[in-house]
Structure 1
Amino acid sequence: MDDISTRCIDIIAKSKSISPDTITPASTFDELNIDSLDKINISFEVEEAFNIEIPDDALNTLKTVGDMIDGVTRLTAAHHSTTISTH
């Protein structure tokens, strides 16, 4: 598993007080008992950890841990390319 996946899973595990070994990219937020408030809190942690900004409307589209990992991967890539081009 890559660094983004590991870090996202660790953030989710910590927020829900569960073992990261029980979480996979295929895990759904429903299975993990993650409600809308949990999603908001997790998104704040993810934004801080990766120095990105997750659009509010994107939170509603996240159904699995894999969805979150994919979104963070895209946002960090876009942020990285913006950072490089502005220097």
Structure 2
Amino acid sequence: MSSLHDSVVEVFVARFDLDPEAVVPEATFDDLGLDSLSQIELATALKKRLGIVITDDELSEIAVVGDIIAIAERKGAAV
């Protein structure tokens, strides 16, 4: 896994108290027991940790953890 992947997993674990083993690229928010409000909380946490801004439109397109990693890569997240 990439260091960016690890950083995204760390955000999920720290913010939502999840098991790191559960935060895999194909996991959905439902799989992780998170609701739509959690997406907003995640966007805020990613901004603080990685310095990226995820727009509302981008949030609405996120289906799995891998989508978040892809957005972070596209935006040149600071790992």
* TM-score, normalised relative to structure 1: 0.80
| Percent of residue pairs bearing the same amino acid type | 28
**How far apart are 1:42 and its partner, in Å?**
0.8
Output the aligned Cα RMSD. Answer: 1.6
Compare the two structures and name the one with the higher helix fraction. 1
- In the alignment of these two chains, the number of paired residues is 78
Distance (Å, rounded) in 1 between the aligned partners of 2:52 and 2:18: 25
Distance (Å, rounded) in 1 between the aligned partners of 2:19 and 2:61: 25
Q: Which runs of 5+ in 1 are unaligned?
A: 80-87
Structure with higher Rg: it is 1
**How far apart are 1:12 and its partner, in Å?**
1.0
* TM-score, normalised relative to structure 2: 0.87
Q: Which runs of 5+ in 2 are unaligned?
A: none
Distance (Å, rounded) in 2 between the aligned partners of 1:52 and 1:17: 21
